[in-house]
Structure 1
Amino acid sequence: MLPSVVLLMTWVLRVISVGMAAYDAGVVAGEIPESRRPAVTEHGVRIADQDIAFTTSAGSGRPVVFVHGNSSSARVWRPLLTGAFGERFRCLALDLPGHGRSAPTARSNVYSMPGYAEILTGFIDEVSAQEAVIVGWSLGGHIAIEAAPSLPGAAGFVVFGTPPVASAEHLAQAFLPNPAVNIGFTAQVDPEAALSYARSFLAPGSPLQLDELVADILATDGAARAGLAAGIGTGRFSDEVAIVTRLTQPIAVLHGADEQLVNLDYLRGLTMPTLWRDAVQVIPGAGHAPHLETPQQFADILTEFISDLD
């Protein structure tokens, strides 16, 4: 074969290889054009007299239930649902009451850790996902832990941005000092405050666009933030440290290496007998939101965790 032909074929193969790698990363990161992404479907269901919206992926494997954070919505999970992960697993991402497409509530007890946990357990029953892996981000992780004793069939839990605390007195140890945290407990939030809050989710200097994060913060029912603050301030949540200590299912605890809100040393000091791989999994290049900042690595970790369950 002529040298020029060999060089040409080598170049073509390299272009194809790079293109496929970019395609795979783009699918996970949600960068593929809409027409080429796996389909997601939006639904609604009524749980405890609340209208709850949720989104499902095209996959039919083990169910994975995603719980978003404070002043967020189910769309933060879109990179997973529209990528290879969503094609493989039956992903279900709900909007908490007063968030995303779910209706706000006039019942103040719903906007609390026990209230959200009741919604989560009711949702899991309603969609027949009792054997799901529960993935919770930030507040969503706290809700997952709160609900864990009522979810004996759950295959496992994955939490991140979520330091389990025994009481309100432990919050100062569990979280890093960051003034943006207060915004998540303030009823009225203006665009400037929403932008500051959104920035605290990411690693410093992250190039990730903040538009959707800010929009979700501004769209959230302000009573949800105020209600959560009141509940936490009066100790209306379970002893999460005791729950993770007694947990029988595996729990993966993830942490962005450039996290601005959660104290890694605090996490590492907790006793969690079923902790996956016996260590907190630190994700390089990510802050409080590794599912958005490093979606491929995040999806890989979730896949490995689920594979270890089988």
Structure 2
Amino acid sequence: MKAEYLDVGGTRSFVLEEGQGRGVLCLHTAGQNGVQWRDTQSALAARGYRVIVADLPGHGRSEPAAGGPVRDLAEYATWCEELIDLLDLDRPFVVGCSIGGGIALQLAARRGGRLGGAVVMAAHGGSDVPGMSVRGLGRELVDAAAPSRSDRTYFGTRAVVGRSVPAARAELIARMHRREDPQVSTSDLIGWATHDVRAALPTIACPVHLVVGDDDLWVDVRDVRSTAAAISDAQCSVLEGVGHYPMEELEDFAVLLQEWLDDLALRSIGRQREHT
């Protein structure tokens, strides 16, 4: 495993790498960091992938973004593009959850021809997030450091963890999440609630696998299926008893992810043959 700081987009950014083979860039959720992939990274690397887990600007061990907390997922997509080029990744896969899923979908829309495919979890192409108000999130930034914010993060996380997750595991996920920076996480949520790539979905030039848990209170399964239907080469999986964080909720998630990546690789080869 290699851990290093890289200058990406003018930010001193923390990046973990493990394994050899096809690159897989893993993106975390709002306010969180690469630790969410701790149970997946080594297991996936052992299956023959070069796994890259990066902390987005202002998250985890990365320094803050030059312009302050980011409110537009397109800025994170640009950052990811620079990281992919800096690491010289050849047709990598991008895997993301929540805002990470939104960023992965933006990357597929922007440079799908240079990706092997994208796994988009807990996200869809539009900006409709049940129960989330951009105005309300903006008000939170005025007093985002209030002690109650950490409790809201804790209880909000518990609410969207799936029913199939053991109680001890759900508690660990929620306690890990409450460590986030409220200014950064609230800005992330504004970006998530306002991102909209629906117009670009028909132009996506790589295979996409959309994933949603049927216990996810923040994402409507119908929106995810609608997004998949708008992409020429997309599949949709609905995970029973799973909430908003599949990579943290599911044991042996790397095994399931490998199945999805293998399928994306086959579909990507098929697309390349069609265009030769």
Q: 1:42 to 1:106 in 2, by over 3 A?
A: same
The two structures have a TM-score, normalised by structure 1, of 0.72
Residue 9 of structure 2 corresponds to which residue in structure 1?
48
- State the superposition RMSD in angstroms: 2.7
Gaps of 5+ in 2: 267-276
1:219 deviates by 3.4
Q: 1:214 to 1:98 in 2, by over 3 A?
A: farther
Distance 1:227 1:176 in 2: 17
CA deviations over 1:228-257 (Å, ceiling 9, x no partner): 455567x5x4x4112222112100001112
Alignment of 1:77-116 (within 5 A): 77-83=37-43, 85-87=44-46, 88-108=48-68, 110-116=70-76
Distance 2:178 2:239 in 1: 25
| Residue 143 in structure 1 maps to residue 103 in structure 2 | yes
SS at match of 1:135: strand
Corresponding letter in the other structure for 1:54? V
The two structures have a TM-score, normalised by structure 2, of 0.80
Distance 1:139 1:61 in 2: 26
| Residue 124 in structure 1 maps to residue 84 in structure 2 | yes
Larger RCO (alpha carbons 8 Å, 6+ apart) = 2
CA contact (8 A) 2:30 2:189 kept: no
| Residue 305 in structure 1 maps to residue 260 in structure 2 | yes
SS at match of 1:66: strand
Residue 266 of structure 1 corresponds to which residue in structure 2?
223
SS at match of 2:39: helix
CA contact (8 A) 1:67 1:93 kept: yes
Alignment of 1:181-200 (within 5 A): 186=141, 187-188=144-145, 190-200=149-159
1:217 deviates by 4.1
Alignment of 1:283-298 (within 5 A): 283-296=239-252, 298=253
CA contact (8 A) 1:183 1:197 kept: no
Residue 9 of structure 1 corresponds to which residue in structure 2?
none
Distance 2:171 2:12 in 1: 27
Distance 2:83 2:204 in 1: 21
Q: 1:293 to 1:226 in 2, by over 3 A?
A: closer
Distance 1:91 1:303 in 2: 12
CA contact (8 A) 2:170 2:249 kept: no
Equivalent of residue 21 in structure 2, options 61, 71, 83: 61
Distance 1:111 1:231 in 2: 4
1:211 deviates by 4.1
1:138 deviates by 0.4
CA contact (8 A) 2:55 2:62 kept: yes
Distance 1:213 1:94 in 2: 21
Distance 2:156 2:137 in 1: 6
CA contact (8 A) 2:102 2:192 kept: no
Gaps of 5+ in 1: 1-39
Equivalent of residue 205 in structure 2, options 210, 232, 248: 248
Greater Rg over alpha carbons, structure: 1
CA contact (8 A) 2:109 2:201 kept: no
Distance 2:231 2:187 in 1: 33
CA contact (8 A) 1:183 1:194 kept: no
SS at match of 1:92: strand
1:272 deviates by 2.9
SS at match of 1:227: helix
1:78 deviates by 1.1
| Residue 164 in structure 1 maps to residue 164 in structure 2 | no
Residue 25 of structure 1 corresponds to which residue in structure 2?
none
SS at match of 1:96: coil
Corresponding letter in the other structure for 1:249? C
1:140 deviates by 0.6
Distance 2:69 2:35 in 1: 25
SS at match of 1:143: helix
CA contact (8 A) 2:137 2:186 kept: no
CA deviations over 1:38-96 (Å, ceiling 9, x no partner): xx332211112101111122x2121100011101110111111122x221211001101
Distance 1:246 1:227 in 2: 28
Distance 2:192 2:29 in 1: 15
* Aligned-pair identity (%): 22
SS at match of 1:199: helix
| Residue 280 in structure 1 maps to residue 236 in structure 2 | yes
CA contact (8 A) 1:190 1:218 kept: no
